[in-house]
Amino acid sequence: MDQIMGNIDLLIQFPIVNLKIILDGVMIGALFALAAYGLALVWGVMNVKNLAQGDFVIGGGYVSWWSYHNVPYFHPLLGVPVAFIVMWALGWLTYKLVISRVIERDLFTSLLATFGLAIMYAQLMNLMFGSDTQSLVLDVTGLGLENNYYFADGLIDLPAAKVIGVVLAAILATGVILFMKRSRMGQAIRATAQDARAARVLGIDTEKVYAFTFSLNSAICGAAGAIIVMVWVIQPFYGITYSIRAFVIVTAAGLGNLPGVIAAGLGIGAAEQYGSHIFGIGYQQAIAVILLLMVLIYRLVQQRRNRQVMQ
Amino acid sequence: MKIQKIAFYGVLLAITVAAPFLFPSFSTQLATLWLFIIVSMTWDMTGGQMGYNSLGNIFFYGTGMYVAAVIAIGLVYDVGEYTGASGGGRYDFTNEQYILGFVLGSLGAGIFCAISAVILGYVLFGLRGPYFAIGTLGTAIAAGELVSNWDWVGGGQGITLPVYSGDFDQTKLFIYFAFAITGVILFIFLKWLYTTRFGAAINAIRDDEEKAEAMGIHTMRYKLVTWAMSAFFIGVVGGISAFQLISFEPLETAYQTINLGIFMVVCVLLGGKGTLWGPIIGAIMFQIFKEVTWNYFLGWQWVALGALIVVTVVYFQDGLMGWLRTQKPEWFGVVVDDKDGEAVR
């Protein structure tokens, strides 16, 4: 208790620390928002709640990590497109083998099937890469930048890797949004999300759209993972917390609400950083999950109010 | 009751009693089999019979473990001091203290879990369908993370319980029968429960909750009572498990969300949801599959289990009993009408 009060005291006495926490949270939250956007896409288009979302993220991280250690002259930044492509293929395979068979079924089926997939992927990664936490060091001194920038007498440190990560995440998100808005396939995806039957009547091959959407989701997650491995650590069993964070964000923001997803992503990143600063780093995973429960309860209360209005 | 039925149950009971004596080297596996049967049956109470698919029933298992351990230790020593020593200090338990701790601990764990089910249920039963599943999963994960940060109950290291000072084989037998008796009581209880009005009411909630409510069933009350009953039994077996494992830690053994927490669902799906025998048959099938993969695919056993989950859910969701029901409906007392509308037996 004393420790918690002390930590809160620190925040009040040195307001600059708040800035550091928020900055850290926003940078990490940008990556959460990416995974959440993929989840919202799959959820909205094919009504599948993908609990293996986080394992795609971690999978992308391991693709980048493995390439760095096994391919000569491999730059960590190159991992982002490589992970995008590899995870695209894996997502397509997953869709063809499992997801395509659960789309028409009830929601619990898809939830449980993807939970099984999550366990399988986590264990496969554990067998292939070992259970140690891994990360890559992004050295940008070659590009004429410093690895760390300091502000406010060194109280705030801003690693270049994190800034690059956020920029990459932003580029990726912009690319996906433009694709969804402008391209023919993006239009088809949006049409299928609105009404799959009508889309089919109008000549859209919804099966193809579903496969494409799921692969795209997996690829986005993979790219996010390749960024995460540079700014954070990955471990085969960290996937489930990313899935839960994605669920928190999508549940809080609502489906098809893109600005909401971004805002909720950044918000949960900041909330987690605050929580782990105040309660200690050991609570970071717990905070992500408790936020989920809080969001669910909040939605429940909101719905209850709606129901009373109806009467 | 017909004579065949009495003979059937008599044989089953005889097997239950004789099994640990016939296969003494397998008594731990047999105890685990009972554990799986019990948690599957309790999961089916809410998942199969009431239509609320929980992914977080493991919460009660872990909580049961901790409550039982805290009660057993707390009867004799100061809990904080005991866990603080983390097995370093010397804490002796007499046999009477051990047995008393075992009985009171397991029952206390059950009662505590039943109460916590009512409290949690008030919040979580407002959620429907997949949201309920995610909400309960979140509760279980959060509980595990919080307990692993709670130093009073040993933090991430968990608790090491006292050991019975008697014969080792005797302890194993004792644990086996604790599980078996709980299982038999649960079976008899459920067999009776599913024939009562209460059973019909929770089936009505599964089939259409709005209609059930319109028919005057207090759905919330039924949901809470059902979950509390299932939580009681999970809590009791959680407590027994704590004494079986002796030493346990929060994330991998107590709140093992991705192991037992999901296995119980798979067991029920394998056997058949919403039937009395489905969970039992499913648990036996699953246990056999698990032991085989553990022995022959070491290292890949988890991948095989994940694959089993996916295959079961995607291709074989009705389970063995569901498959039998479509093949031989007359075995289940389902009357099939022929073309002229006459009932054919």
For residue range A282-304, list pLDDT tens digits in order.
777 788 788 888 888 887 777 77
Of B139, B306, B314, the CB nearest to A102: B314
d(Cα B142, Cα A292) in Å, to the nearest integer? Answer: 10
- The partner residues of A134 in beta bridges, in order of sequence, read A234
What SS3 state is found at B337? strand
With CB atoms and an 8 Å threshold, state whether A240 touches B127: no
Residues 6+ apart with CB under 8 A from A84: A60, A219, A220, A222, A223, A226
Domains of chain A: which residue ranges?
Answer: 2-310
CA-closest candidate to residue B9, choices B175, B278, B191: B191
d(Cα A280, Cα A269) in Å, to the nearest integer? Answer: 15
The encoded tokens of residue B163 equal: 């050991």
pLDDT digits (tens, 9 = 90+) for B41-78: 999 999 888 888 888 899 999 999 999 989 988 887 77
C-alpha angle with apex B202: B197 to B204, nearest 5 degrees? 90
Would you say the ipTM is above 0.90?
Answer: no
Please give the class, per CATH, of domain A2-310.
mainly alpha
C-alpha angle with apex A219: A142 to B129, nearest 5 degrees? 135
d(Cα B178, Cα B156) in Å, to the nearest integer? Answer: 28
Mean pLDDT of B182-188: 93
According to DSSP H, which parts of chain A are helical?
Answer: 2-13, 15-46, 53-70, 79-94, 100-102, 107-129, 160-182, 184-194, 196-201, 206-231, 239-253, 258-279, 284-310
The encoded tokens of residue A196 equal: 């799959």
Of B299, B300, B313, the CB nearest to A113: B313
Taking residue B221's Cβ as centre, other Cβ atoms within 10 Å add up to 10
Residue with tokens 């009953």: B229
* pLDDT above 70 (res B338): no
Taking residue B343's Cβ as centre, other Cβ atoms within 10 Å add up to 8
pLDDT digits (tens, 9 = 90+) for B254-299: 888 878 888 888 889 888 888 888 899 999 999 888 888 888 877 7
pLDDT digits (tens, 9 = 90+) for A8-46: 777 777 777 788 888 888 888 888 888 888 888 888 888
Min distance A241 CA to chain B CA atoms (Å): 9
State the SS3 of B170-236: HHHHHHHHHHHHHHHHHHHHHHHHCCCHHHHHHHHHHHCHHHHHHCCCCHHHHHHHHHHHHHHHHHH
* pLDDT above 60 (res A309): no
Residue with tokens 């991992």: A79
C-alpha angle with apex A211: A209 to A214, nearest 5 degrees? 105
With CB atoms and an 8 Å threshold, state whether A123 touches B131: no
Contacts of B135 in chain A (CB under 8 A): 292-293, 296
pLDDT at residue B88 in the model = 60
Burial call B172-205: b when 16+ CB within 10 Å, e when fewer? bbbbbbbbbebbbebbeebeebbeeeebebbbbb
pTM reported for the whole predicted model:
0.85
The encoded tokens of residue B318 equal: 């009705």
* pLDDT above 60 (res B320): yes
CA torsion sign for B182, B187, B188, B190 is positive
Count helices and strands (H / E) in chain B.
14, 4
Min distance A262 CA to chain B CA atoms (Å): 22
CA torsion sign for B135, B140, B146, B152 is positive
